[in-house]
Amino acid sequence: MRFFKFAAAALLGVAALGLAACANTLSTEVSRYQAMPAPQGQTFVVVPGEGMAANGGLEFQRYAAIVAQQLQARGYSPAASPQSASMVVQLGYGVDHGQVRIVDTGFNYGPYGDPFFYPRYGFHSPFYYGWDDPFWYRFGGYGRGGLDSYVEYHSQIDLHIRAAGTNQPLFDGRAQARSYTNRLDVVVPSLVEALFTGFPGRSGEVVKITVPTPPHA
């Protein structure tokens, strides 16, 4: 009996390690259309776009600063004022409410043939494994066939760059991801990094990019 309990604990540990490893990176899908000019003294201002960015505020300013750093690293300069900017950068972002996913753990638990269900005091005693066993609910219990569930969130950022005055499109980009968290402070910086990987990219390309998530996540 101890062996079976130890084996189950080991399996749970492996699963937890796998999930932790996934939490350290974010797999994204990036699409880009661009006609960006080479850096020649252009200036920019970052303004709120759609989704959760629409109301601006301190949260938006944090992510706008990350976008500004990426553009500066590529030779463009922040404008002294919005009126003096030669490019307007519109940033939008958001995450959904999540969707429950059901997975088959590969274990089929029930009162017969279940190694975790062997009785301590006999099958007719109320004190048999499975009655108050924490593995019982974790793995689905009798009749559920070892099903487990988790919540999957979809997040996205949109970046549109326009020439000030003429509104000529210079860049349209989108980065999307699925994750186990809906924390914007985790997913948005990583989505921005993915979008700017190889920036501005080839117009019309759709690429899959895996980037690290913030260390504190």
pLDDT tens-digit profile of 76-133? 999 999 999 999 999 999 998 878 877 766 655 444 444 444 343 343 333 333 334 3
Position 183 in a domain: yes
Identity of the residue numbered 81: S
Band of the pLDDT at 20, cuts 50, 70, 90? very low
pLDDT digits (tens, 9 = 90+) for 128-178: 333 343 443 444 444 445 667 778 899 999 999 999 999 999 999 999 999
Count of domains for the chain:
1
Q: What is the pLDDT of residue 23?
A: 58
Side-chain-side CA neighbours of 206 within 13 Å: the count stands at 2
Position 2 in a domain: no
Position 173 in a domain: yes
pTM of the model: 0.69
Provide the domain limits for residue 170: 29-100+150-211
Position 196 in a domain: yes
CATH number, domain at 202? 3.30.160.670
Position 112 in a domain: no
% the chain with pLDDT above 70: 67
Span 173-198, mean pLDDT? 94
Q: What is the pLDDT of residue 97?
A: 86
Q: What is the pLDDT of residue 108?
A: 52
Position 157 in a domain: yes
Position 40 in a domain: yes
Q: What is the pLDDT of residue 99?
A: 81
Position 21 in a domain: no
- 164 dihedral zone (left: phi>0; alpha: psi -120 to 50; beta): beta
